[in-house]
């Protein structure tokens, strides 16, 4: 499948570039007579919080010693909220009681828009790691910040979350800035987040 927008994803015809009003220069299929906007992957990452203790669940994956957030790719046709519930269930066995959207960040290395949520769980007794997870651990807010993989997008999301007031207004105007170029050892999304299936997806 052509993912970089050179050919029409519906019919395979080579795309032209045409101007679309208010949108600029956009790939256009002359056969379908339709604009083909660039596509990219979408994934969710979760700050999984035990509501009773206010502890945060971090996981270890792929033999790496550092901790990351539970995460995975969104399936085509799936709502972000459903992906959050599914991924937390699949990777930890736990049921998300409710959730809150935090922020998003495009991750160029894997062409993925990462959407970060807080996923609150009430029953942590269901917790068990699946085959994708080496181990997991509940951390206090302070210890979670110390143990998350340095320089990762997961760290950016977690630190941003921890810096917000626990109640009251959200501050979207100052989300903080994550600079992938500043990372000397940028993890791949698979390393940083893990993803379901893994095999069929280039993560
Ligand atoms: Zn076409």
pLDDT in tens, 134-165: 899 999 999 999 999 999 999 999 999 998 87
Cα(18) to ligand 1 centroid in Å equals 14
Q: What does the mean pLDDT of the chain come to?
A: 84
Average the pLDDT over each of 4-8, 58-62, 100-104, 136-140 and give the range with the smallest value: 4-8
- Residue whose C-alpha is closest to residue 11's, from 41, 33, 37, 43: 33
Phi, psi angles (nearest 5°) of residue 196? -70, 155
Cα–Cα distance measured from residue 70 to residue 77, given in angstroms and rounded to the nearest whole number: 21
Cα(107) to ligand 1 centroid in Å equals 28
Residue 119 β-bridge partners: 48, 99
Cα(103) to ligand 1 centroid in Å equals 34
Q: Which two tokens stand for residue 11?
A: 């019919």
Decide if 6 contacts 36 (C-beta within 8 A): no
pLDDT (tens digit per residue) in 73-102: 999 999 999 999 999 999 999 999 999 999
Q: What is the pLDDT of residue 5?
A: 65
Residue 34: how many CB atoms within 10 A of its CB?
Answer: 13
**What predicted TM-score, i.e. pTM, was given to this entire model?**
0.77
Q: Which two tokens stand for residue 138?
A: 């509940």
Domain boundaries, the chain: 1-39, 41-165+180-193
Q: Which two tokens stand for residue 193?
A: 């987040």
User: Token match 């069929």: residue?
Assistant: 200
Cα(14) to ligand 1 centroid in Å equals 8
CATH of domain 41-165+180-193: 3.90.79.10
- What SS3 state is found at 139? strand
Q: What is the pLDDT of residue 180?
A: 66
Average pLDDT over residues 193-203: 38
200 has pLDDT over 50: no
CATH class belonging to 1-39 = mainly beta
Residue 90: how many CB atoms within 10 A of its CB?
Answer: 16
Cα(42) to ligand 1 centroid in Å equals 23
């Amino acid at each position: 499948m052509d993912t970089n927008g050179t050919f029409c994803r519906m019919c395979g015809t080579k795309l032209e570039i045409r101007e679309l009003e208010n949108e600029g220069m956009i790939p256009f299929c002359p056969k379908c007579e339709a604009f083909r906007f660039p596509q990219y992957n979408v994934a969710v990452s979760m700050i999984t919080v035990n509501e009773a203790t206010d502890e945060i669940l971090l996981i270890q994956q792929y033999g790496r010693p550092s901790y990351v957030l539970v995460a995975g790719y969104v399936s085509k046709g799936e709502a972000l909220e459903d992906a959050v519930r599914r991924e937390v269930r699949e990777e930890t066995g736990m049921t998300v009681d409710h959730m809150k959207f935090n922020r998003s960040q495009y991750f160029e290395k894997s062409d993925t828009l990462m959407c970060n949520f807080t996923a609150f769980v009430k029953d942590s007794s269901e917790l068990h790691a699946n085959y994708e997870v080496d181990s997991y651990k509940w951390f206090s807010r302070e210890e979670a910040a110390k143990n998350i993989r340095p320089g990762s997008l997961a760290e950016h999301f977690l630190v941003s979350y921890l810096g917000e007031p626990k109640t009251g207004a959200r501050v979207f105007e100052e989300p903080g800035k994550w600079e992938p170029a500043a990372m000397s050892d940028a993890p791949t999304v698979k390393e940083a987040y893990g993803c379901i299936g893994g095999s069929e997806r280039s993560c």
